[in-house]
Homo-oligomer: A and B are copies of this chain.
Amino acid sequence: MIERTIETATKQYPLLLGDGAVRALPCLLRALSCPPGTKMLIITDDVVAPLYLDEVRATLAAAGYDVYAYIIPNGEAAKSFDNYYACQTAALQCGLDRRSLIVALGGGVVGDLAGFVAATYMRGIRYIQMPTTLLAHDSAVGGKVAINHPLGKNMIGAFHQPEAVVYDTAFLRTLPERELRSGFAEVIKHALIRDRRFYDWLRAEIKTLADLQGGKLAYCIEKGIDIKASVVREDEKETGVRAHLNFGHTLGHALESELGYGVLTHGEAVAVGMLFAILVSERLYGRSFAEHRFAEWFAAYGFPVSLPDGLAPHRLLEKMKGDKKAYAGTVRMVLLREIGDVEVVELEDDKLLAWLCEFAGQGGER
């Protein structure tokens, strides 16, 4: 079992990572001052529930907790106002009070939604993250919680750190390939923005998704968490370096919102977004990353490497201008100076539009 302490300006909390981590829950909860009888609401989705809900529920019940569950639909479309309201209603009906705890059992969608419910139920109660996907190595750490609005992804939310992250890697064994791929985009992102050596390791060791298992998968999660944690330690509230984590997300979020949540997975959208950010970086810095053959590398994992058909560049630009990192309508993108080194750059609309058109035109050539 790997143990980490996630540190932010406002809070420290433990992260447990490993096969069978779920069994450490009772001991952990005692340390968190959750006496027997504490009400716990597990929020999960209809894909995870049949696989792992019984085990988690039984573990908590055996430790003497008063356990409830609420199940949302699987998929990005579930991060909606309607489900947010439904979870709040469920929490009230279960009689959760300010000493109760919410358990987010699932991927990034469940973690973001359940975390935002916890952030605002009775003005904020405690919650723990129990990731069941590779993607959640990113979303479960750092306390950013949110729901989507049709006008933009993650637009309504809060910073609300969990009490703990319990990451049972046994839960990843049933992960569908598309989910594994989605999460791997964030692993790649973490390497590209902050760790050249990890990038080299990924290029050498993970040739296709089939390589993502056992010790290599665990190493990817561990490295991803360490990079994420180091960023969050420096900048909890995204006033500075935390914005670097948005590499690939400016266009990525615009794609998700424009296509309708769930059409592309988050990782697929971010992969396309990273390729676009690399093109912008090349144009702006007047350099080339051609030797890295990024599109070819991404394609080997099965990522889309070009804009989906039928998207108008000017509409994507409008979405990007509404991004949370934009100020006064000026798009701010994270650009790649070198592998492992990024910065936030303000970009003019007309240049961005020209590059979007160029990106749309070149198909999978990058």
Contact = CB atoms under 8 A, between A and B. Distances in A.
Contact of A327 (B85, B93, B97, B328): B97
A155 interface: yes
A120 B151 contact: no
Interface stretch (A25-33, A121-129, A303-311): A121-129
Interface stretch (A12-20, A156-164, A211-219, A294-302): A156-164
Interface string A105-145: 00000000000100111111000000000000000000010
A322 B88 CA distance: 13
A328 B97 CA distance: 7
Interface string A72-98: 000000000100010011001101011
A283 interface: no
Contacts of A93: 151
A152 interface: yes
A89 B327 contact: no
Interface string A31-42: 000000101000
A314 B157 CA distance: 37
Interface in A155-209: 155-159
A324 interface: yes
Contacts of A116: 120
A214 B317 CA distance: 55
Contacts of A156: 88, 120-121
Given A92-B152, A149-B89, A327 B99 contact: yes
Contacts of A120: 116, 120, 156-158
A322 B98 CA distance: 11
A329 interface: yes
Contacts of A88: 149, 155-156
Contacts of A146: 123
A193 to B, nearest CB: 20
A99 B93 CA distance: 37
